[in-house]
């Protein structure tokens, strides 16, 4: 359920031409001004992470369906996953499709799943790529990735999109390497967002695991402090919005994707994710819709 404040902010963004609504909730076109802020912020993340020399990977919005199946996502978040379907029939099925369209009936029944699934989190497609290279070198792997991500959660909250961009840094290695990475990015993420001049808080969090079994998974994730979020108030101070996430997957994804250390043991993984649209929405909210009028310190951090 979207709140009045969320809907009001959405309307303001649309009236200002920053977002263009479509017939589908949570699916927008973004303006040039919106895109420019994303690009500037992205460049700031690049500058911050460049000292570590990450390998850069940029993904399309889809990944192999096998990657989704292997990842465990369907076990934990079946409600959010999306697969790409396409027509796979002959002339008879084609005629039925057109007839259904013309009647205004559901024409999608004959669609078959393709080999592509939407990417739910930017780091997923990178694990198969790293695993294919064989056992990791002693210093593990460090990636700078970005993807459009899909999550099936239609909403009128402009900070809850069905298709959005996630920028991540991903670490694969020993538990020590991976935890050190997460500590480093907790500090860097805070410093980046402090330089953006927005109020923020970092807190333990859990993912929206599905169903009754999911409640236990969520409680366990919190107890072990596996996930932290950097929260910024956008349309509510009581319920601020997660703009960055810091995730330690232990050996869960290492097991799922066959990621091995040099000695053959299963690698651990962690990632830091920047929700690019949410960060732009936070900046527009706190500094106004005209980036030229933003505080000098923020402009300096972004336009250098
Ligand atoms: P997570 O995997 O932790 O759920 O998501 C990683 C990051 O992606 C979050 O910290 C957040 O910034 C962003 N994100 C998650 N869900 C949404 C969403 O529905 N819309 C948008 N715009 N960003 C999201
Ligand atoms: Zn990730």
Residue 59 sits in a domain whose CATH number is: 3.30.930.10
Supply the range of the domain harboring residue 112: 85-117
**272 within ligand 1 shell (Cβ under 6 A):** no
10 Å CB burial of residue 19 (0-12, 13-18, 19+) is buried
Six token digits for residue 273: 């994710």
Domain match, 89 and 73 both: no
Six token digits for residue 80: 């959010």
Q: Whose CA is nearest to atom 2 of ligand 1?
A: 121
Q: pLDDT digit string (tens) for 89-131? A: 999 999 999 999 999 999 999 899 999 999 999 999 999 999 9
Query: Which of 117, 133, 161 is the C-terminal boundary of a domain?
Result: 117
- pLDDT category of residue 191 using cuts at 50, 70 and 90: very high
Domain match, 104 and 242 both: no
Domain match, 22 and 106 both: no
Q: Whose CA is nearest to atom 3 of ligand 1?
A: 245
Residues 165-176, mean pLDDT to the nearest whole number: 98
Q: Whose CA is nearest to atom 23 of ligand 1?
A: 275
Q: What pLDDT score does 1 carry?
A: 82
Query: Which of 102, 117, 132 is the C-terminal boundary of a domain?
Result: 117
Q: What pLDDT score does 112 carry?
A: 97
Residues 250-274, mean pLDDT to the nearest whole number: 98
Domain match, 34 and 96 both: no
Mutate to test the pocket of ligand 1, among 189, 271, 275 (most ligand atoms within 8 A of CB): 275
d(CA 14, CA 214): 36
Beta partners for 271?
170, 247
With a cut of 90, say whether residue 304 has pLDDT above it: no
Number of domains in the chain: 2
Domain match, 144 and 290 both: yes
pTM: 0.97
Domain match, 259 and 284 both: yes
How far CA 127 is from CA of 94, 144, 259, in Å, comes to 38, 12, 8
Q: Whose CA is nearest to atom 17 of ligand 1?
A: 160
Place of tokens 């799922």: 256
Q: pLDDT digit string (tens) for 228-249? A: 999 999 999 999 999 999 999 9
Ligand nearest to the CA of 149: 1
Q: pLDDT digit string (tens) for 128-150? A: 999 999 999 999 999 999 999 99
Buried b (16+ CB within 10 A) or exposed e, 102-139: eeeeebeebeeeeebbbbbbbbbbbbbbbbeeeebeee
């Amino acid at each position: 359920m979207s709140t009045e404040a969320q809907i009001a902010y959405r309307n303001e963004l649309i009236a200002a031409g920053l977002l263009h609504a479509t017939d589908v909730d949570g699916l927008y076109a973004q303006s040039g001004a919106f895109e420019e802020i994303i690009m500037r912020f992205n460049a700031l993340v690049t500058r911050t992470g460049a000292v570590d020399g990450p390998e850069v990977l940029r993904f399309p919005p889809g990944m192999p369906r096998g990657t989704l199946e292997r990842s465990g996502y369907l076990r934990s978040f079946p409600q959010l996953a999306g697969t790409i379907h396409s027509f796979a029939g002959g002339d008879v099925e084609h005629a039925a499709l057109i007839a259904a369209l013309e009647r205004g009936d559901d024409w999608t029944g004959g669609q078959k799943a393709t080999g592509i699934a939407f990417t739910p989190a930017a780091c997923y497609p990178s694990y198969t790529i790293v695993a294919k290279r064989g056992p990791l070198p002693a210093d593990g792997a460090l990636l700078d990735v970005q993807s459009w991500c899909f999550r099936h959660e239609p909403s009128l909250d402009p900070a809850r999109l069905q298709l959005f961009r996630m920028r991540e840094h991903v670490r694969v290695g020993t538990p020590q390497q991976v935890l050190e990475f997460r500590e480093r990015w907790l500090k860097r993420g805070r410093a980046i967002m402090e330089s953006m001049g927005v109020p923020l808080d970092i807190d333990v969090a859990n993912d929206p695991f599905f169903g009754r079994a999911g409640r236990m998974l969520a409680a366990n994730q919190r107890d072990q402090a596996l996930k932290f979020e950097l929260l910024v108030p956008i349309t509510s101070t009581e319920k601020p919005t997660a703009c960055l996430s810091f995730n330690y997957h232990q050996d869960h994804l290492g097991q799922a994707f066959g990621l091995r250390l040099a000695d053959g043991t299963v690698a651990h993984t962690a990632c830091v994710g920047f929700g690019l649209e949410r960060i732009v929405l936070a900046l527009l909210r706190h500094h106004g819709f005209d980036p030229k009028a933003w505080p000098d310190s923020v402009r300096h951090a972004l336009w250098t």
